Amino acid sequence: IMRPLPEDAFLCSFGHIFAGGYAAGYYSYKWAEVLSADAFAAFEEAGLDDDMALAKVGKQFRDTVLALGGSLHPMSVFKEFRGR
């Protein structure tokens, strides 16, 4: 067995992406992380120490992401929450 070189970049030899046919699956995980970070940013933008502002964003999150759920396309629901 040939051991990897210390300077080897793991992603460049990650077979799941380049030869395993699972690249779209990994992409969806990364896209979910982006949306999650953006959703949390809405709360940060409101001010994590401002209870009234957090309650407003929380209600908006509840009324869009949680309430609409699968009734609309997921990106439409997210855009409704974030406004973009």
Q: Please tell me the distance from the alpha carbon of residue 53 to that of residue 69, in angstroms, as a whole number.
A: 23
What confidence score (pLDDT) does residue 7 get? 78
Assess contact for 57 and 51: CB atoms under 8 A: no
Q: Please tell me the distance from the alpha carbon of residue 38 to that of residue 78, in angstroms, as a whole number.
A: 10
Assess contact for 17 and 26: CB atoms under 8 A: yes
What confidence score (pLDDT) does residue 8 get? 72
Domain boundaries, the chain: 47-84
DSSP labels, 8-65: --GGGG-HHHHTSS-HHHHHHHHHHHHHHHHHHHHHHHH-TT-HHHHHHHHHHHIIII
Q: What is the pLDDT along the chain (84 residues), one digit of tens a residue?
A: 778 777 776 666 666 666 667 777 888 888 999 999 999 999 999 999 999 999 999 999 999 999 998 999 999 999 999 999
What confidence score (pLDDT) does residue 6 get? 77
What confidence score (pLDDT) does residue 13 get? 60
